[in-house]
C-alpha cells in the first residue's frame, strides 16, 4: 500500500518511499519537505506525516550539523581502546564517559578492550590530559591504547539503506 505506513508484528514496515525520504534526510537534514515531496512524488503534507511517523518509530534518531573539528581548534582525533578490570565497573564507566565532551563515540566491544572511544582534542597536551587525568582515573580502567588519526580517508554518518523485499 503506497502512502501508508504499514505495521508488521508491531514494528513499522517501511516502503520504498520511506527509504527514499530517509536517504534524502541523512544526506542533508536541511532538505525541505517541499524538496522531498518533489523528489518522491508526494504532497508536502504526506511527506510531513511520513517524517513524523519515522521520527516516532525511532528510524530517525535526530537531526544534527556535522562540524569540522580542526576548523574549531581540535587538531587531534584519536581512537582509544579502554580495558575494564571487571564487569561491575561498566555502569559507572558508561555514566562517566557521557560527561566527557571530548568523547564523540563510545562503543562496547569484543576482544582485548572493553570499549573503543573516538575522541577529539585541541593538541597532544590536551590528549595527554584526557588520558592521564580523566580516562585512566576512572574506576575499573586498567589499560588504554591510543591510535592517533593522521588523515581521514572516509567519514560518514550515512547508514546503508536496504529496502525490505
Tally of CB atoms within 10 A around 108: 13
pLDDT of amino acid 1 = 31
Q: What are phi and psi of 102, to 5 degrees?
A: -70, -20
Report if pTM > 0.75: yes
Residue 3 pLDDT grade (very low, low, confident, very high; cuts 50, 70, 90): very low
Q: Which CATH number fits the domain 70-148, given the four candidates 3.40.50.300, 3.20.20.80, 3.40.190.10, 3.30.70.920? A: 3.30.70.920
Residue 2 pLDDT grade (very low, low, confident, very high; cuts 50, 70, 90): very low
User: Which CATH number is 6-57 given?
Assistant: 1.10.10.10
Give, for 164, the enclosing helix (H) or strand (E).
none
Question: Considering the chain, what is the average pLDDT of its residues?
Answer: 92
Domain boundaries, the chain: 6-57, 70-148
Q: Please provide the distance, in angstroms rounded to a whole number, between the alpha carbons at the two ends of the chain.
A: 14
Q: Write out pLDDT tens, residues 75-124.
A: 999 999 999 999 999 999 999 999 999 999 999 999 999 999 999 999 99
Of 100, 90, 77, residue with least CA distance to 149: 77
Amino acid at each position: 500500500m503506497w502512502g501508508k505506513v504499514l505495521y508488521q508484528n508491531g514494528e513499522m514496515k517501511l516502503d520504498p518511499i520511506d527509504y527514499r525520504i530517509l536517504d534524502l534526510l541523512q544526506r542533508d537534514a536541511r532538505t525541505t519537505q517541499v524538496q522531498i515531496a518533489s523528489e518522491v512524488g508526494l504532497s508536502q503534507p504526506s511527506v510531513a506525516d511520513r517524517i513524523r511517523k519515522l521520527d516516532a518509530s525511532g528510524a530517525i534518531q535526530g537531526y544534527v550539523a556535522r562540524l569540522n573539528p580542526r576548523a574549531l581548534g581540535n587538531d587531534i582525533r584519536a581512537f582509544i581502546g579502554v580495558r575494564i578490570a571487571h564487569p561491575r565497573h561498566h555502569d559507572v564507566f558508561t555514566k562517566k564517559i557521557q560527561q566527557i565532551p571530548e568523547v564523540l563515540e563510545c562503543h562496547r566491544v569484543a576482544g582485548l578492550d572493553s570499549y573503543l572511544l573516538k575522541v577529539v582534542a585541541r593538541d597532544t597536551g590536551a590528549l595527554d590530559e584526557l588520558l592521564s587525568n580523566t580516562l585512566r582515573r576512572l574506576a575499573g580502567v586498567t589499560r588504554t591504547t591510543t591510535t592517533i588519526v593522521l588523515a581521514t580517508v572516509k567519514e560518514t554518518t550515512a547508514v546503508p539503506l536496504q529496502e525490505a523485499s
